[in-house]
Structure 1
Amino acid sequence: MDPLVLGLIVALATVFVLFSGIPVAVGLLTVSALFLLVFDGMRSLSLMPEILFGKLNDFALLSIPMFIIMGAAISSTRAGADLYEALERWLTRVPGGLVVSNLGACALFAAMSGSSPATCAAIGKMGIPEMRRRGYPDGVAAGSIAAGGTLGILIPPSVTMIVYGIATETSIGRLFLAGILPGLMLVMLFMAWSIYSTWSSGNMAVLGQRSYSWQARFEILPRVLPFLAIIAGVLYAMYGGVATPSETAAVGALLCVVIAVVIYRMWSISAIWVVLRDSTRESVMILFIIGAAGVFSYMLSSLFITQSIAGWIAELEANRWVIMLCVNVFLLIAGFFLPPVAVILMAAPILMPIIQGAGFDPYWFAVVLTINMEIGLISPPVGLNLYVINGIAPDIPLGTILKGSLPYVACMVLGILILALFPGLATWLPTLVMGAA
C-alpha cells in the first residue's frame, strides 16, 4: 500500500480511537499495535515494550514531575490570592484595572505553576466574584480569566514546552526562552483589549471604587516576592550554566514546597501528601503518553509514513506560508478536541519534517503551536478552561463564558500573525542567550 494512503488511514483511525473517549496513551498504543501487526507482523509487536520504556529513559524527563510539584505546591497555597490582591492594589486606578490585574495575576501565576486549569481556578475564585460585584459584565469577568489561564502553557517554565522539546529533540532551554517575549506580547494584547473594551463600553463608572494607600500597596509585596524570586532563580540557574533543566526544576520544586510550608503555614502532612499525590498522578499520565507517543512515532517511521510525507511536501510547489496555514488549521482543529500534550506527541513526528522542509525554525514553530493549543483550551467542545470557570461560577452559562473569551481568541490569532511577520520575537532571545542553534 502507498505510504501516503496508509498515513491517511492511520490519521483517520487515530482520530476515531482518540475521540471514542479512551485514554490518550491507550489509544496511541492501540493504533500502533494494530497497524504494526497488520503491516509489519509480530516481530514489531515484540519491540513495543522496549520502545515504550526506552522513550522514558531520558534524564530530561525528570524535569516534568519536578515542575509539576513546583506548580502543585504553589496552587495549594494562597499565592494566587496574594498575586491578585497585590496587582489589584497597584492597578486599581487604571481603566479596566480589575480585568488588567486579573490578567497580570494569571500571567504571574501561570509562570509559577505552568498549569492553565490551576491558573484559572486560583485566580478565578477571587477575580470573578470581585469583578461581578463591581459591575463588570459576566462575559468579561469569566472570559478574561479563562483566556488568562491559557498563558500557563506558554510562559516558562512550561510543561508543554518540555514535552515539545522531548518529542522533537530540541533544547528545552531554548524553548523556554522562545516563549518569554511572545508570552509577554499576549499579556499586553490581552490587557490592551481589556482597557479598550472597558473604555469603549462606557463602563468607567465601575472603576476606582477602592483606594489603597502606598503602605497598603507595599505591605502585600513580601508575600509575593519569594515566588517571583524563585522564577528568576530558576531561569538564572538554567541559562547561567549553573544547572541543567532537570536539576533546576528539582531545586525550584523544593524551594516552592519550603515557601508553602514557611510562609503559608502548610504544616499538615496530609496537605503535603495531597501535593505529592496529585503531582505523581499528573506526572504518570504525561509520562505514559510520552512513552505511547514514542511507540506511535516508531510505527509511523517503520511503515515509512513520516518519510513519505516529508518527501511529498518537498515535491510540492506550494508557498511555504500556505503550508503553514494548513498546519495551523490542523492544530486548531486538533486542539478543539485533545489536550495540548496529546496533540504535540501525536503530531510532532508528522509535522516536524514538514516544518523543517518548508524552512521554518522549530523554536518559532513551538510558540505558534502552543498559541494554537491555548486557543483550544477556551474553545468547545473540550475547552478545559471553560469548564473550570463554569465550575467556579456555575450561574454563568457556558455560552456567556465562551462569548467573553472570543475577543481573546482574536488576540491570540493576531499574536500568531505578528509572529509570522516578526519571527525574531521568538528566535531573538534564544540566540542572544545561547548562541545560534
Structure 2
Amino acid sequence: MDILIAAGLMLLLLALLGGGLWIGLSLLAVALIGMDLFTSRPVGDSMMLTIWGSTSSWTLTALPLFLWMGEILFRSKLSDDMFKGLAPWLDRLPGRLLHTNVVGCTIFAAISGSSAATCATIGKITLPELKKRGYPEDISVGTLAGAGTLGLLIPPSIIMIVYGVAANVSISKLFLAGVLPGLMLAMLFMGYIIVWALFNKDKVPAADTAMTFAQKIHASRHLIPVVSLIALVLGGIYSGIATATEAAALGVGGALFLARIEGSLDWARFKDGLVAACRIYCMIGLILAGAAFLTLAMGFIGLPRHLAEFIGGLHLSPFNLMLMLIVFFIVLGCFLDGISMVVLTIAVLLPTVEAAGFDLIWFGIFIVLVVEMAQITPPVGFNLFVIQGLTRREVTWIARTALPLFLLMLVAVLLTYFVPDIVLWLPRQMQS
C-alpha cells in the first residue's frame, strides 16, 4: 500500500512539474494532497509552521548574501580582469589558454557559490577570447561546462548551505570539506586538457608573444581585487572570526567596495544585482518551503521509514549503496535542479546513510559531486542551458563535449570514497 501511495504522489509531482507549475508550488501541492488524503493531521497548521520554520533559519541568511555578492561581481569589471591576470601564466602549459576556463572557474567559484553564475561569468569572458585566438569550439565549451560546476563544490557554495540546513550539519565544516575535493577536481580537469593537447598539437594555436617574469607579475595585478575578496570571505570563516553568514555580509561589503573603486558600480547595476539576487533567493526559498512541507507529509505518512527499511533489507555494502545513490541522483538530475534534489531527498536518505556508517560531512560533499554531474546531463542540466545561451548550440552537442569531464567527476567521487581524508582532513583540523 505504501509503495502505491509513494508511486501515486511521485506521478502527481511529475505531472505538475511537466505541466509547467513552479517546483516549489508543485511540492506544496503534493504535500497538501498527501497529508489531506492519507493522514489525520491538521494540514493548515502543519503547513504554516513548517514553512515558517524552514524559511526563518538564521543560517539560511547566508544564502541571499552570497547570491548578491555573485551578482555584484557578475556586473562589474572584476571578472574581466581575471582573464588578463591569468592568461600570461597559462600560455606555456600544454593546452595553453584552455586552462583559463578551469582556473577562472576555480577562482570565481570561491566568491560566487553558484554553478550557473560561475559558468556564465567565465564563459562570457573566455569563450569569445578562445574563439578569436583559434581554439576548437568543442574543447573550449566542454571544459567550460565541466569547470563551471566547481561553483557548487568550492566554498562558499549555495548548495552546501542548503544541505547543511537540511541535514543539521555545520556549514563552516562543509565549506572546509569542499576545498581539497574542489582543487583535486580542478587538477583533474587541467590534466585532461594537457593530455588532449599532447594528442592534438595541431589544434592548439601558437603561444602569444613571450613575456618576461616581471611583465607577468605586472599583469597579475588584475587578480589582486578578486584574490583579496576570496581571502576576506574564506579567511573569516576558516579563522573562526566570522560565521558563514557574517562572512557573506563581509563579502557583499567587499564586492560593493571593489566595484565602486574600479568604477563599474552605478545605481542601475546596484539595483539590478539586488533584484536578481532577491529573485533567485525567492525561487530557492519557495522550493525549500515546499520541500520541507513535503518532507513533513512523507514523515506523517511513513514513507521515509519504509523506504529506509526497504533499502536496509537489500543488505547493500557501503560501496554498493554509494553506487546506487550515484545512479539515483544522476537519474533524478535529468528532471530536477540541484537544490530541489537535495531538499527532496536528504530527509529520506539520512537514516539509511547514517546506518551505513557514512560521515554526514563526507556525504554532503558526495551529494555536491553527484549534483555537479547532473548539472551537465540533459535534459535538465543547468550548465548546459547557460552555455546554450552563450553559444546557441544544441544541448545534446554541449553534453557530448562535456562527457570526458563528467567521467572525471565520477573518478573524483570514487577517489573521495576510497580516500575519505580528501574530504575530512580539513574539517578535522578545525576540530583540533
TM-score range, shorter chain: over 0.9
1:308 alignment counterpart: 306
Tell me the CA shift for residue 21 of structure 1.
2.6
Partner of 1:367: 365
Q: Which amino acid aligns with 1:402?
A: A
Q: Distance in 2 between matches of 1:19 and 1:103?
A: 35
2:352 paired residue among 333, 339, 354: 354
Instruction: State how many pairs are aligned.
Output: 432
1:32-111 pair list within 5 angstroms: 32-41=31-40, 43-111=42-110
Cα distance in 2 for partners of 1:205, 1:311 equals 55
Are positions 1:421 and 2:418 aligned together?
yes
Residue 148 of structure 2 corresponds to 149
8 Å Cα contact 1:56-1:290 kept in structure 2:
yes
Partners of 1:36 and 1:45 within 8 A in 2: no
What SS does the aligned partner of 1:326 have?
helix
Partner of 1:22: 21
Q: For structure 1, which segment, 251-260 or 161-170, has the greater mean C-alpha deviation from structure 2 after superposition?
A: 251-260
Deviations 1:32-84 (Å, cap 9, x if unpaired)? 00000001146233321121112222110111111111111111112222112
Q: Once the 2 structures are TM-superposed, how far is the Cα of residue 4 of structure 1 from its aligned partner?
A: 4.7
Structure 2, unaligned stretches of length 5 or more?
Answer: none
Q: 1:409 to 1:205 in 2, by over 3 A?
A: closer
Cα offset, 1:397, TM superposition: 4.3
Q: C-alpha distance in 1, partners of 2:42/2:204?
A: 72
Letter in 1 for 2:162: V
Whole-angstrom distance in 1 between the partners of 2:302 and 2:20:
28
| 1:407 maps to 2:409 | no
Are the equivalent residues in 2 in contact too, given 1:92–1:207 (CA < 8 A)?
Answer: no
Please name the residue that 2:251 is paired with. 252
1:6-405 alignment to 2 at 5 Å? 6-41=5-40, 43-203=42-202, 206-263=205-262, 265-394=263-392, 396-405=393-402
Following the alignment from structure 2 to structure 1, what is the Cα–Cα distance between the partners of residues 76 and 266? 12
CA distance in 2, matches of 1:315, 1:204: 53
Separation in structure 2 between the aligned mates of residue 61 and residue 40 of structure 1, nearest angstrom = 30
CA contact (8 A) 1:377 1:383 kept: yes
Q: 1:191 to 1:244 in 2, by over 3 A?
A: same
Any conservation in 1 of the 2:79–2:122 contact (CA below 8 Å)?
A: yes
Note closer, same or farther for the CA distance 1:413–1:419 as it changes in structure 2 (3 Å cut).
same
Specify the SS of the correspondent of 1:359. Answer: coil
SS in 2 for 1:220: helix
Equivalent residues of 1:96, 1:207 under 8 A apart? no
Structure 1 window deviating more from structure 2 (14-23 vs 362-371): it is: 14-23
Q: Matches of 1:355 and 1:375 in 2, distance apart? A: 20
Shift of 1:281: 0.8
- Say if 1:128 and 1:142, in contact at 8 Å, map to a contact too: yes
Tell which deviates more after alignment, 13-22 or 331-340.
13-22
1:352-400 per-residue CA deviation (whole Å, 9 max, x = no partner) reads 1121111111111111211111111111112221222222222x44443
Q: Would you say the 8 A contact 1:138–1:400 is kept in 2?
A: no
1:342 offset after TM fit, Å? 0.7
Q: CA deviation at 1:5?
A: 4.5
Matched letter for residue 362 of structure 2: W
Higher mean C-alpha deviation, range 57-66 or range 19-28: 19-28
User: Offset of 1:205 from its aligned partner?
Assistant: 5.2
Q: TM-score, normalized by length of structure 2? A: 0.95
- Cα displacement (A) at 1:244: 1.7
The structure-2 alpha-carbon separation of the partners of 1:12 and 1:359, relative to structure 1 and needing over 3 Å to count, comes to farther
1:130-152, Cα deviation, whole Å (9 max, x unpaired):
22233322110111111111110
TM-score, length basis structure 1: 0.94
